[in-house]
Amino acid sequence: MVHILKRARNLRQLLWIRNGPGAIQLPKEVTKIHLEFHPKLIGSAFRGARHFWHEMMPRMKYRNPTVPMSVTRHKDPNGGAYLHIYTSTATPASSQTTNPPGTANASPEASNTLTPDTTEPTHTFEIKTLHESEILDLLVEKTGAVVLRTPPEEAQEMEEFKEFEVRAEKDRIEVRERLLRERREAQLLKLARGEVPNAA
Amino acid sequence: MAPARSFLAPLSRTTVPFTSSVRPSIPQLAFAPLEQLSKRWILRGTKIENKKKKANKNFTNYDLREIEQFSLIDAMHYIRAFEVGRNPTSSKYDLAVRFRTQRSGPVVRNRLRLPHPVKTDIRICVIAPPDSKVADDARAAGASLVGEDEIFAQVKEGVVNFDRCICHIDSLQKLNKAQLGRILGPKGLMPSTKLGTVVSNVAQAVRNMVGGSEYRERDAVVRLAIGQLGFAPEAMQANIKAFMESLRKDIGQMSSEKEVHEVVLSSTNAPGFTLNGEYRGPNSISPKELSGPL
């Protein structure tokens, strides 16, 4: 099992997932969010999309556990990167279907039931070459999501953690240097005693 | 510390040609002026040779009062957020149970059927006469491949398209004659009585294997894939309860003392969450919110 201290430190990631860019409350109309991009960055064409998935989507999912969020990765390096937003109110207006809102157009079961998702997304954005923060701004603007503020005590804690990281990096370098020096000295001692190491 | 060392290195280098083959390394210290060597250095040098540190009889366990603990729903809430955008069929919840136990002694090892199986697409091969009642039972129980000589021929050609292999007790001789151990052995598929894969009641064994999972204690921890990522909190609760109950029974049958120390829920891409044994905390969201698709 991972050491308890390591686990405890890892759990401070929870602050990361609670706060920061992406901590938004989506309005009730949003039924699904879907992201589509190529798994490689390819210059910086898909960097924003990938970072958006990796850094912001966990926060969004944490704040909106009921909204299905999915990602597909296509294999075409020249293909696009898209952000699809599905909403429940806009569908009857755009396409005159007889389905009551909230059943057919909600389409959240698509990945579970293996039936192809036929509903059209309400908004589709081309997000190739966009920065992840630009994608987030786009999403917030179009859906009218509420950006949640970080509580001051958690902000302070995050600040402390940042300092801790900086210090840890410094310590890591120091420790590594000392360790290497000791090893080198031990090696020299060994050589001096006439015990020829196998490698040399 | 440092001056003693830097002094020692050149000194020993000069003395080595004369002494290295005859004298052990410790007496060399006598050449160095004693006051220049710190006492600690000598102590440390001798200590390593004379005394080995006695290993603790029990595994070290840490106090859990300092660490944050989570209710099941809170943990699932976080884990689902960490797993966003991943393939729901490849990511899984896993549970690690840590014991307070001795380093030596018997270990917990068993298999169980979870109320909601995690892996259901397991392919089982049954070695039994193809047109017997045993074979029919095995097929009914979910075996994907049943037969004797055809399977032997297939395996010899290198076609092994199954994940588990069970042998009926009457077919064992035939199996041994076919000499498949060289092919199946390295893959861990060769049936043997020791592993409980040579049985008389094949149907029962197959049923236990389909959707069954094995677990085993290693370094005082039992790990098990406990659920698919799409499971609702109720299903997870049922699975965890079944697993803990099974562990309790295993421990009850043992002679040595074991107690559950910590239960950690994690998943493929999420950190581990120590569970506090409760289903919902005071600030938890409703279980319904976690029941939907990812």
Domain boundaries along the sequence of chain A: 1-19+150-200, 21-147
- What average pLDDT score do residues B165-170 get? 75
- What average pLDDT score do residues B17-30 get? 43
- What average pLDDT score do residues A104-118 get? 44
Q: Which residues on A lie below 8 Å from B290 (Cβ)? A: 65
- What average pLDDT score do residues B70-77 get? 91
Cβ of A1 and B285 within 8 Å? no
Alpha-carbon gap, residue B266 to B224, rounded angstroms: 10
Domains of chain B by range and CATH? 2-50 (no CATH), 72-116+213-290 (3.30.190.20), 124-209 (3.40.50.790)
pLDDT at A58: 92
Distance from CA of B120 to the nearest CA of A (A): 15
- What average pLDDT score do residues A139-153 get? 87
Alpha-carbon gap, residue A91 to A104, rounded angstroms: 10
> Could you report the per-residue pLDDT of B260-269, keeping only the tens digit for each?
999 999 999 8
Cβ of B77 and A189 within 8 Å? no
Cβ of A193 and B82 within 8 Å? no
- Give the ipTM of the model, two decimals please: 0.77
Confidence class of residue B30 from pLDDT cuts 50, 70 and 90? very low
Contacts with A63 (C-beta within 8 Å, 6 or more apart), sequence order: A23, A24, A25, A26, A148
Torsion of CA B106, B112, B114, B119, to 10 degrees: 100
Label the pairing between strands B198-199 and B164-168: parallel
Cβ(B43)–Cβ(B26) below 8 Å: no
Of residues B8 and A17, which shows the higher confidence score?
A17
Cβ of A68 and B88 within 8 Å? no
Q: Which of B83, B101, B162 is nearest to B127 (CA)?
A: B162
pLDDT at B241: 92
pLDDT at B196: 66
Cβ of B96 and A1 within 8 Å? yes
Contacts with B232 (C-beta within 8 Å, 6 or more apart), sequence order: B287, B290, B291
pLDDT at B28: 42
Give CATH superfamily name and number for A21-147.
Glutaredoxin (3.40.30.10)
Measured at the CA of B28, the angle between CA B23 and CA B34, to 5 degrees, comes to: 155
> Could you report the per-residue pLDDT of A80-103, keeping only the tens digit for each?
888 888 888 644 433 333 333 333
Which one of B11, B66, B84 makes the best mutation probe of the A interface by having the most chain A beta carbons within 10 Å? B84
pLDDT at A98: 37
Alpha-carbon gap, residue A54 to A113, rounded angstroms: 26
Q: Which single residue is written with the structure tokens 């199996």? A: B175
For chain B, how many residues are written? 294
Q: Which of B243, B281, B283 is nearest to B264 (CA)?
A: B243
Q: What is the mean pLDDT of chain B?
A: 75
> Could you report the per-residue pLDDT of B217-252, keeping only the tens digit for each?
888 899 988 888 888 899 899 999 999 999 998 888
pLDDT at A173: 96
pLDDT at A198: 60
Residue B57 has pLDDT above 50, yes or no: yes
pLDDT at A43: 82
Q: Which residue is closest to A108 within chain B, CA to CA? A: B293
What whole-number percentage of chain A has pLDDT above 70?
Answer: 82
Six-digit token string for B241: 């309860």
The minimal CB distance from A61 to the residues B62, B80, B230 is found for B80
